[in-house]
Amino acid sequence: MRIAILAHEKFPGRAKTALGLLRYSDDEVVAVLDRDTAGSRVRDFVGDVQDAPIVASMADAPDCDALVVGIAPIGGGFEESWRDDVRTALRNGCDLVAGLHYFLEDDDEFSELAAAHGGDIWDVRRPPADLTVADGVAGEVDAEVVCTVGTDCSVGKMTATMELCEAARAAGHDAAVVPTGQTGIMIENWGVPVDRVVSDFTAGAVESMILEKGDEYDYLFVEGQGSITHPAYSAVTCGILHGAQPDSLVLCHEAGREAVHGYESYPLQPVETYVDLYEELAAPVRETGVVAGALNTVSVEDDAAARDAVDEFADTLGTPATDLVRFGAGDVLEAIL
Amino acid sequence: MRIAILAHEKFPGRAKTALGLLRYSDDEVVAVLDRDTAGSRVRDFVGDVQDAPIVASMADAPDCDALVVGIAPIGGGFEESWRDDVRTALRNGCDLVAGLHYFLEDDDEFSELAAAHGGDIWDVRRPPADLTVADGVAGEVDAEVVCTVGTDCSVGKMTATMELCEAARAAGHDAAVVPTGQTGIMIENWGVPVDRVVSDFTAGAVESMILEKGDEYDYLFVEGQGSITHPAYSAVTCGILHGAQPDSLVLCHEAGREAVHGYESYPLQPVETYVDLYEELAAPVRETGVVAGALNTVSVEDDAAARDAVDEFADTLGTPATDLVRFGAGDVLEAIL
């Protein structure tokens, strides 16, 4: 697939989904749409992802198969200033992919244009209609299931999941990602937005994905969400833990994070507390353990200091650890596989 | 309010909602509709609830303000054999209350009849549209918040919640129930069906209820759901625990239960495991503790054996315990207040 990514006025700093696609998607990115930085290239800003020209509008983009909305305004609405780009894409017969709270399929103009020109609209945040409660059987699949879990939101669980799966593939294993959030779903072109499903179906949504892929692969890497002690999001975390029935866990943490992101009155716990909680909570459904750590050292400028932080994290966990982006998988992969 | 309760072919054994209303509702039940047992009275079957005549149809029921659907077929659909009763009720200007998965407000005939005759239709399983993520502030309300938690589904959390609130009121305290499931919502005439909300809003849904009532009462008794180690429903349990930020927990268990109801390959854990998990999982958001036990001894015929089971449960917990229905609140209330 050839895709264009809409990221107006937000590339690269506030375009997490766009960056995720540029870094991990198998699709070819033919252009990023950002009217603020048009005329430059992705590589002018970010070094370690696929390159693409940055253009001001869809009219300036090369031919492609899909337009992906790669940013989300606060509130998840649709910005009317994007309408011309979406129109142009749909008139060209492109598919439209978006992860907004506002579903583009429900926009009359867009649905009519898509029907008229043969494009599909995929609102990745709309959960499938056929979800139900878990049967408690995810543990029965052939694949070994590895789940990323975290000390908080936004510590790098999606990134760790992608990096670990790539590393496993590079080592010759048949591995797949089980995506649970919008960016992961866009990258992998399938998945269920677990945070949007009916709460009673949280574990069931994950289980259905494990069952769908579990006999096709040797390893499944399940993208975790939130944290088991998060004041707002722990329900989703808990449902993934029990629904996925993982064989092993990789604990993700950001170096220097001291309080829950956006809930600063809640200090993070000692790392050992998360290990104990995830393992003890999982055990009655399926015994599992934290076998490795993924430390996000993006806030640590100096490589030596980052290496020290990783070593300390590994010591605390009593398992191998790494910053997957900065230092590669190293002995973490061996601990998992 | 004067209400009639529809329970065709299921009263009393398979009419949990009907029985809950007869036992705990402040509304006057003018009739139970059950074509199988019509002509008898509630008291012919159940001793410790309000009495009412059992009639074959709404046409035979005394005047009332609302018809409540007090049963749920497997799948939660609407039985067409109930349509005549619902029609009659709406034509009489009654409100209609139901907790089905199928929303009666979306039935064209019913919505037109309700509009024409001035009745309201309340589908209690439809979550409010304005829910959002938790802010992590439920702990700030004036009320002391008590949450029932369980070793499994269907061990008596709703019943324990109602009994404890009644006992607190009888002792002169200003107390209210925070209902999270359909029967509790019908009994209390307000509440959010927490298992039906968007998973990301699970804690937020509970928090919004705590904030709504928390400064009006001295004690709030939050109806728990599921169990923290349930293979399918733990997400909802976890969201309630962190969203409600309870000051204390009452652990509910059924005597003799050995495996997860409906998931028989999963044995229940030792009772102490649940105490540890609930307390350790809650602590990073808000310190709390199991201060009492509520044992459901319905399966134990002999009173002395039931008393022994309660004593053993109390010993294991190291707190007071009781069967609230069989033996009353006893010293459990003191441990909570």
Prediction ipTM score: 0.95
**Is the minimum CB–CB distance between A276 and chain B shorter than 8 Å?**
yes
Handedness of CA A158, A162, A163, A167 (dihedral sign): positive
pLDDT at B161: 98
Strands A121-123 and B95-98 come out as: unpaired
For residue B274, which phi and psi values (nearest 5 degrees)?
-65, -40
Ordered structural domains, chain B, with CATH: 2-123 (3.40.50.720), 138-336 (3.40.50.300)
Residue A34 CA neighbour count, 13 Å, CB half: 24
pLDDT at A72: 80
SS3 (DSSP) at A176: strand
SS3 (DSSP) at B44: helix
Across the range A215-229, mean pLDDT stands at 98
**First-to-last C-alpha distance (Å) of chain A:** 31
For residue A236, which residues of chain B lie inside 8 Å, CB to CB? 199-200, 202, 235
pLDDT at B74: 75
Across the range A43-64, mean pLDDT stands at 96
Sheet holding A248-254, edge to edge: A175-178, A219-222, A144-150, A248-254, A290-296, A321-322
Q: Residue A334 pLDDT > 90, yes or no?
A: yes
SS3 (DSSP) at B146: strand
Across the range A186-204, mean pLDDT stands at 96
* Cross-chain residue pair B202–A285, CB shorter than 8 Å: no
DSSP H helices, A195-320, are 202-213, 234-244, 271-282, 303-317
Q: Specify the DSSP class assigned to residue B139.
A: G
Q: Which of A250, A73, A19, A278 is nearest to A155 (CA)?
A: A250
Tell me which chain A residue has its CA closest to the CA of residue B127: A198
Q: What is the largest CA-CA distance in chain A?
A: 60
**Is the minimum CB–CB distance between A194 and chain B shorter than 8 Å?**
yes
Q: How many other C-beta atoms are found inside a 10 Å radius of the C-beta of residue B157?
A: 30
pLDDT at A76: 80
Q: Which of B210, B158, B199, B207 is nearest to B181 (CA)?
A: B158
Q: pLDDT per residue over A85-110, tens digit each?
A: 999 999 999 999 999 989 999 999 99
Q: pLDDT per residue over A112-153, tens digit each?
A: 999 999 999 999 999 999 999 999 999 999 999 999 999 999
Q: Which of A195, A200, A229 sits opposite B236 (nearest CB)?
A: A200
Cα–Cα dist A156/B255, whole Å: 44
Cis peptide before A128 (omega within 30 of 0): no
CA angle A243, A246, A251 (to 5 degrees): 110
Name the A residues in 115-154 with CB < 8 Å from any B CB: 133-136
Which residue positions in chain B have pLDDT lower than 50? none
Residue A73 pLDDT grade (very low, low, confident, very high; cuts 50, 70, 90)? confident
pLDDT at A185: 97
For residue B285, which residues of chain A lie inside 8 Å, CB to CB? 229, 231, 234, 266
pLDDT at B3: 98
The helix-helix angle for A234-244 and A271-282 (nearest 10°) equals 50
Q: Residue A227 pLDDT > 80, yes or no?
A: yes
Is residue B101 a contact partner of residue B127, using CB atoms and an 8 Å limit? no
Residue to test with chain A: of B74, B132, B199, most A Cβ within 10 A: B199
By mean pLDDT, which of A68-72, A190-194, B256-260, B272-276 is the weakest?
Answer: A68-72
For residue B162, which phi and psi values (nearest 5 degrees)?
-65, -45
**Is the minimum CB–CB distance between B259 and chain A shorter than 8 Å?**
no
Q: Nearest-CA distance from A244 to chain B in Å?
A: 10
Tell me which chain B residue has its CA closest to the CA of residue A181: B200
Q: Which of B196, B200, B237 sits opposite A195 (nearest CB)?
A: B200
Cα–Cα dist B313/B329, whole Å: 15
Q: Nearest-CA distance from A303 to chain B in Å?
A: 32
Q: Which of B84, B90, B83, B86 is nearest to B114 (CA)?
A: B90
**Is the minimum CB–CB distance between A196 and chain B shorter than 8 Å?**
yes
**Is the minimum CB–CB distance between A287 and chain B shorter than 8 Å?**
no
* Cross-chain residue pair B266–A198, CB shorter than 8 Å: no
pLDDT at B101: 86
**Is the minimum CB–CB distance between A264 and chain B shorter than 8 Å?**
no
Cα pseudo-dihedral B59, B60, B62, B64, rounded to 10: -40
